[in-house]
Structures are given as C-alpha cells and as structure tokens.
C-alpha cells in the first residue's frame, strides 16, 4: 500500500481549478486534511463536491493545481489510490459475480495485504455471500461497498452518502466502524444529504459553493457563525446569505 506518514498531511489540495467547457466547477480550492479527522464536504447540487472527489481519486484531472497524498505530489502515479478507500453513492459491480467472488477478486488484485472483513459480520452480510450481485437489494449492495472500502484499512477514506439505503442495524454498525477507524488515525471525507449523519460523524465542515470554499471550520464554528444549533439549518442560512 502507498504509505502515508504521520509526519505529513495525508491530503493536500492546492489551488485546484476545473472547468468543463464554459462551466467553471472548481475555482481554486485549497484544502489540507488531518490524520484522525472526519471532514464533511457540504453544499448544494452543482457546488463542485463530486468533481472535487473525482480529482482526489484520479477519476478526472484538474486543469490547474496540485494534489499531494502523504506529502507527495501524485502527478500521473496512480499508486496513491491504494491509500484511499472509496465508498461511492451508487456502487456498480459486475452483475454475474457473487458477493464472495467480488471480495475475493479484490483481495487477489491487491496481493497479500492484510484484510479486515469485520464489517461483513457486523452488517450481517454473511447470508448474502453466495448471491449474484443482480439479486442483491440496493441496501445490500451498499453493505458490500462499505466492506470493500474498509477491508484494507486505508489511511484515507472517501465516503459518499455512506448510510444511504442501509437498515438501522447496518447503519449503526457502519457509523461505529467509521468512528473506530477515525480513532485509529484514518482521514475521512464525508458527503451526505443526511445532515444528522454528518453532525454525528464529522469534526469539520467545508462548505463549497460555485466551486469555492465559503466556510471551513468545526461544527461549533458554523453554529456560532449562523446562530443555528442544527447543521442543516446552518447550511441553509449560509446559502440564503450567499444568495442575498
């Protein structure tokens, strides 16, 4: 696995710009993430959240700016991706493979790395192991996505709508696991439309609007700034203020 030293920032985004034609999606994003910290990236649809995550994952390339993982500029070296566990909002797996085959395939691709499959049991996925993906419910696919994201204990985790479609038992198990991994020192990036989840799991809020960071601080900071006790209402007030 690509090593991320505790002596350096796990993730640094410096002056990221990205446009699609005339649509300017990111307008110079500067963001440094810390070890053991969960950062919620929030903002309305079209704010640039998805593009920011895609740039970090190497799924799209910024027009300008620098991405450093563990203090090293990534450039065209894709090996850094092994340091990131990614749980997408809409996981897409080969329909003909079973849950077990997908997990085994990923283990084979990654070689002899130690694996952590504790979520498989905690989320009660064992009974679904031999079913083909095409027979799985959306919630069960989400469980599989969570197991894959965490199975190599990556130092960086990007979780996009992680609890979407999960039943209460699975959602609680995933949240407990997120908190445990954060305590271990993992760096988390969270996005969700469920503001209560972000309040429960996040240490820091980054509010993105029109591709520009308009706020970056703790949950307490945003509450003090807006006078709102709930994150959802705090974000709504900031949106109204920017639109005024």
Q: Which helix (H) or strand (E) holds 121?
A: helix 118-122
Q: Which domains, and CATH codes, for the chain? A: 11-243 (3.40.50.300)
Task: Provide the b/e sequence for 178-188 (b: ≥16 CB within 10 Å).
Answer: beebbeeebbb
Q: What is the pLDDT of residues 161-213, one digit of tens each?
A: 999 999 999 999 999 999 999 999 999 999 999 999 999 999 999 999 999 99
Percent of the chain with pLDDT over 90: 84
Q: What is the pLDDT of residues 46-91, one digit of tens each?
A: 899 999 999 999 999 999 999 999 999 998 788 899 999 999 988 9
Report the SS3 class of residue 112. coil
Q: Is the pLDDT of residue 137 over 90?
A: yes
CA dist 244 and 240 (Å) reads 6
Residue 243: per-residue pLDDT: 45
Q: Is the pLDDT of residue 112 over 80?
A: no
Residue 154: per-residue pLDDT: 95
Q: Which residues pair with 206 in a beta bridge?
A: 41, 216
CA dist 141 and 125 (Å) reads 10
Calculate mean pLDDT across residues 111-135. Answer: 90
List, in order, residues 6 or more apart from 21 with CB less than 8 Å away: none
Compute, in degrees rounded to 10, the torsion defined by CA atoms 226, 190, 172, 134. 140
Model confidence band, residue 110 (pLDDT cutoffs 50, 70, 90): confident
Residue 76: per-residue pLDDT: 77
Residue 2: per-residue pLDDT: 77
Task: Provide the b/e sequence for 90-115 (b: ≥16 CB within 10 Å).
Answer: ebebeeeebbebbbeeeeeeeeeeeb
């Amino acid at each position: 696995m690509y090593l991320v030293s505790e002596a350096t920032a796990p993730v640094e985004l410096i002056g990221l710009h990205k446009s699609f034609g005339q649509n300017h999606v990111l307008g110079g994003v500067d963001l440094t993430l810390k070890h053991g910290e969960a950062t919620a990236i929030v903002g309305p649809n079209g704010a640039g959240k998805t593009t920011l995550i895609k740039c970090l994952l190497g799924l799209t390339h910024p027009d300008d700016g620098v991405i450093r993982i563990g203090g090293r500029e990534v450039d065209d070296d894709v090996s850094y991706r092994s340091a990131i566990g990614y749980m997408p909002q809409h996981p897409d797996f080969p329909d003909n493979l079973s849950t077990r085959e997908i997990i085994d395939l990923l283990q084979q691709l990654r070689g002899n790395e130690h694996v952590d499959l504790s979520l498989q049991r905690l989320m009660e996925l064992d009974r679904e192991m031999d079913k083909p993906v095409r027979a799985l419910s959306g919630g069960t696919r989400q469980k599989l996505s969570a197991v894959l994201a965490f199975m190599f204990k990556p130092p960086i985790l990007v979780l996009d709508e992680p609890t979407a479609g999960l039943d209460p038992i699975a959602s609680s198990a995933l949240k407990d696991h997120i908190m445990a991994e954060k305590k271990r020192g993992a760096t988390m990036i969270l996005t969700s439309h469920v503001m209560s989840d972000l309040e429960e799991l996040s240490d820091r809020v980054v509010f993105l609007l029109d591709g520009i960071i308009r706020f970056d601080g703790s949950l307490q900071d945003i509450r003090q700034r807006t006078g709102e006790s709930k994150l959802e209402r705090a974000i709504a007030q900031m949106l109204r203020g920017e639109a005024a």
